[in-house]
Amino acid sequence: MKTIEINGHLREALGSKKSKELRREGHVPCVIYGGGENVHFHADERELNKLVYTPDVFLINIKLGDKKVQAVLREAQYHPVSDKTLHMDFIEVIPGKAVALKLPVALTGNSEGVKNGGVLRRNAKALYVKGVVDTLPDTISIDITKMKIGSTIKVGDVSIPGVEMLEAANRVIVAVKTSRKAIADEEAEEAAEGEEGAEGAAEGEAATEESSEG
């Protein structure tokens, strides 16, 4: 897992009023869970954007004065209009202890169904998983090469050693749906096969007639 360092500052005062002041100053209120007592701090929004505007998952070294805490991002909250980051939750990484986080889904290969005119539908760009950070992959890689029109890959179809999936097993990750073009091609093929069958039958009847006349 990639590593990144963030400079944080312990919060001396909590509450919504103080949080608003921090945001006006370009800082984001944050909290670290999982290490016993919750640690409240704030950090420069520009530094935290390195965690937000990327599909990558990082092991984060958060510097808090002379102390350093290793953590992973659990969740970020955004303003509904401006999309600015309002708050960030982190989970402290303790050696040997599993953590829950979101891993991005990476699709590999070219689907047979898409080649035949189907449409690829991605229903999940990331999935919640649980595992020890040292053994977690950077992404959940899914090969879609053999997916045909009508095929789906669900959470229950994915198995990664050392990783527990926290999503419902029947949640669809990716599917190949039919399209108007695929339907038209299929109907054209069926019509062509029907014409060939009709021609073959007609030829057979003509041969029978000639045989009876002879």
Inside any domain, residue 80: yes
Note whether residue 150 is domain-resident: yes
Residues 6+ apart with CB under 8 A from 10: 39, 40, 41, 64, 65
The parent domain of residue 49 ranges over 2-94
Q: For the segment 70-97, what is each residue's pLDDT rounded down to a tens digit?
A: 999 988 998 888 888 999 999 999 988 9
User: Could you tell me if 40 and 108 lie in one domain?
Assistant: no
Q: Assess whether 6 and 81 both reside in one domain.
A: yes
Q: Where in 11-148 does DSSP place strands (E)?
A: 27-33, 39-44, 58-64, 67-78, 85-92, 99-108, 119-122, 126-131, 140-143
For residues 190 and 93, give the distance between their C-alpha atoms in angstroms, rounded to a whole number: 59
Cβ atoms 59, 119 nearer than 8 A: no
How many distinct structural domains can be found in the chain?
3
Q: In this structure, is residue 76 part of a structural domain?
A: yes
Q: CA 49, CA 17: separation in Å to the nearest integer?
A: 23
Residue 107 lies in a domain: yes
Give domain status of residue 160, yes or no. yes
Whether this model's pTM surpasses 0.95: no
Residue at 214 is within a domain: no
Residues 15 and 90 grouped into a single domain: yes
Assess whether 65 and 78 both reside in one domain: yes
CATH number at residue 153: 2.170.120.20
* Residuewise pLDDT in 10s, the chain (214 residues): 788 999 999 998 888 888 998 999 999 999 999 877 899 999 999 999 889 888 888 999 999 988 999 999 988 998 888 888 999 999 999 988 999 889 999 999 999 999 988 999 999 999 999 999 888 998 999 999 999 999 999 999 999 998 999 999 999 999 999 876 655 555 555 566 555 544 544 445 544 444 444 4
pLDDT in tens, 111-133: 999 998 899 999 999 999 999 98
Q: What is the DSSP letter of 62?
A: E
Decide which of 70, 94, 118 is a domain's last residue: 94
- My answer on whether 170 and 188 are in the same domain is no
In this structure, the answer to whether residues 107 and 147 fall within a common structural domain is yes
Strand 119-122 relative to strand 126-131, pairing: unpaired
Q: How big, in percent rounded to 5, are the helix, strand and coil portions of the chain?
A: 30, 40, 30
